[in-house]
A = this chain, B = another copy of it.
Amino acid sequence: MTPPSRRATRATRTDALTNRARILAVAGEAFAAPSEASGAPGASGVSGVSGVSMTAIAKLAGVGVGTLYRHFPTREALIVELYHQEIQKVIDLAHTLAADLPPLEALRRWFEEVARYGKLKYGVSEVIHAATNGGLDDKNYEPFLRAIAVLLDAGTASGDLKPGIEPEDVLLQLSVLWRIPPSDNGTARAARVLALILDGLRTRPANP
């Protein structure tokens, strides 16, 4: 039954690669641009990601929808891919902070960074939500968890954080941050919630 020849699969077609690249480029631009200032009343269009349809992206890239979906099986998949680099930065930061700062301070700073990142581009919520929820099929999920684990371990070792906290649980709690609406005084609210989360993770001094 089909013995493996020297090459199991053909090389990826060059036009496919080109298309993929162009799609990413176009989508990046489209998502970055503030939502069109046209008269359309329907869309909320906070800014960024929202309001650009898959069809629109396909058209901009000069490919059919089918092609777009061949490369990115889902809207979320496309977004995740786009922001992969930025997410990686956040993940790297966790390792840096864990190495350079006292555990509690490192965690606090990292949380703040995560909050700021989420606020900056509200649409990114979709990314992290994707990078968070299912997790099963997302290449950002594992590294993100490991980053949290590193921070937690440092805190546990120093006795500042409770032992045995599951990184997944922390990620779940963090996911709340990108559901805070951006307008309002979202920053203040995020700060308050962060403080609550952090205190929940800390060890608790003995009662009198």
Interfacial residues, chain A to chain B (CB-CB below 8 A): 133, 165-166, 168-169, 172-173, 175-176, 179-180, 189, 192-193, 196-202, 204-208
Contacts and interface: CB of A to CB of B under 8 A. Distances in A.
A98 to B, nearest CB: 20
A91 to B, nearest CB: 21
Given A199-B200, A205-B207, A205-B208, A166 B192 contact: yes
Contact of A175 (B179, B192, B202, B208): B179
A164 to B, nearest CB: 9
A204 B202 CA distance: 10
Ranked 5 nearest A-B pairs via Cβ: A200-B200, A196-B200, A205-B205, A199-B200, A169-B193
Contacts of A133: 179
B201 A204 contact: no
A133 B125 CA distance: 14
Contacts of A206: 205
Contacts of A179: 133, 172, 175
A163 to B, nearest CB: 13
Contact of A169 (B172, B175, B196, B207): B196
A202 B166 CA distance: 21
Nearest to A192: B169
Nearest to A133: B179
A169 B180 CA distance: 10
A74 to B, nearest CB: 13
A180 B208 CA distance: 36
B166 A172 contact: no
